[in-house]
Amino acid sequence: MSEARKRRPYEPPPSELGPGQTSYTSITDKISSVVFTPHTPIQWFIVVGIGLCLIGLLQIAIAYLLYQGTGIWGLNIPVGWGFAIINFVWWIGIGHAGTLISAVLLLFRQKWRTSINRSAEAMTIFAVLCAGMFPVLHTGRPWLAIYWLFPYPNSMAIWPQFRSPLIWDVFAVGTYLTVSLLFWGVGLIPDFATYRDKARHLVTKRIFGFLSLGWRGSAIHWERYEMASLILAGLSTPLVLSVHSVVSFDFAVSIIPGWHTTIFPPYFVAGAIYAGFAMVLTLMLPLRALYGLHDFITDRHLDNMGKVMLVAGMIVGYGYFMEQFMAWYSASIYENFLMENRMFGPYGGSYWALLLCNIIVPQLLWAKRVRTSPYLIFMVSMFINVGMWLERFIIVVGSMHRDYMPSSWDMYSGTIWDWSLYLGTMGFFLVAFFLFVRAWPLIAIHEIRTLLPTGKKH
């Protein structure tokens, strides 16, 4: 008897789903139990409590910033950009994986994306919201300055300077957030309908009924849903390359040594994918253990995400090498001085820590045992999260604190208000993400169902 005949009728291939999920009902019950459980895990309350404390810190930091101005930050004459631009780029990078997993892997028909795309899309939305705080607050007086960034019809004498990459950021990030919200919202509609049908309380049923937009699961509904998903995926795919490329132009179009280089757009895009996948693993591995989602987020998912991080890390490492090589090959005394200062100057320790976190430690991902071990790949992801923040710190501060005039050289370090703002956005991100986990589908139910043999048949 062939292997196919020996297999039970509803047993999914072990490479796609765990052995515990053999029917539509078991999949729906398991995923919906995260929301409809009467007992929320104590760990959820602990994380949300920590996040709310950090949000309180964020509110204090913002209130004092608006009252006092950006002088409370550690900015000085050579370092006019500090934590605000560092954290902006870091958060935008974290949000990059959501679009890649949702759009690009959908177009390439990669089925393993189905278990992580929903949480990655949510992570994208919340990360972009965190990133958007910094340009607004960096103006110091948002109510007097922020509207100058938007080209709305007005009677003002001066319109936005469209040659400024900061204006490009407004358009790129605004488009990215809008398309990501649409993609996320459209994908949630069938699952909202499932939750509507499973809800027992009238208020809950009404809420999910409103969010499901009258979904009945008819053939015409599915046809329009799939068409909308493909169109949004096609629109989102260029954003994977364009958004962080535009962010890199904040640096690359300047004439400052270390910034004025053509390697920045692909280098930033690869770094964003690198950081985004690391954050997906950082969030999903604890949730996998907390809610028992091992049948959906299997070792195959960890293995594939580890491979993507390994490839992205090699591209990032190539970018580091090209920065050093072009500084030497150009024979520019300014570029050479900058690279020597990065390695052996006052911030040399941060540079070598960056290489350790982003280049050396991720080499462990060559081993499949590391890629499929939740503990080891989580450890590597945490190193990458730290390393990608250090990368942005070195790019910004390491290139500015020693400019052309030694008389203006100065050291930069974040004040307590810089750190409070940064940690506060982390709290906002955690609270928003864990509220999403508790209230909305963490995993795309309708997409997971297609992994069953009966789902593939139809």
Quick one: which of 12, 114, 16, 6 has its CA closest to 457?
A: 12
pLDDT of 168-211, one tens digit each? 888 888 888 998 899 899 989 999 999 998 888 889 899 999 99
Distance (Å, whole) CA 220 – CA 105: 25
Residue 38 has pLDDT above 60, yes or no: yes
Residue 154 has pLDDT above 80, yes or no: no
Predicted model pTM: 0.90
Distance (Å, whole) CA 441 – CA 32: 7
Q: Which of 144-153, 164-173, 377-386 has the lowest mean pLDDT?
A: 144-153
pLDDT of 405-420, one tens digit each? 888 888 998 899 999 9
CA-based Rg of the chain, rounded to a whole angstrom?
24
Q: Residue 325: which residues within 8 A CB-CB, separation 6 or more?
A: none
Q: What is the pLDDT of residue 19?
A: 67
Q: What is the pLDDT of residue 294?
A: 86
Residue 229 in tokens: 């998903």
pLDDT of 208-267, one tens digit each? 999 999 899 889 999 999 899 889 888 888 888 888 889 999 898 888 888 888 889 999
Neighbours of 413 (CB within 10 A): 12
Residue 347 has pLDDT above 80, yes or no: yes
Distance (Å, whole) CA 234 – CA 237: 5
Q: What is the pLDDT of residue 40?
A: 87
Residue 450 has pLDDT above 90, yes or no: no
What band does 10 get if pLDDT is binned at 50, 70 and 90? very low
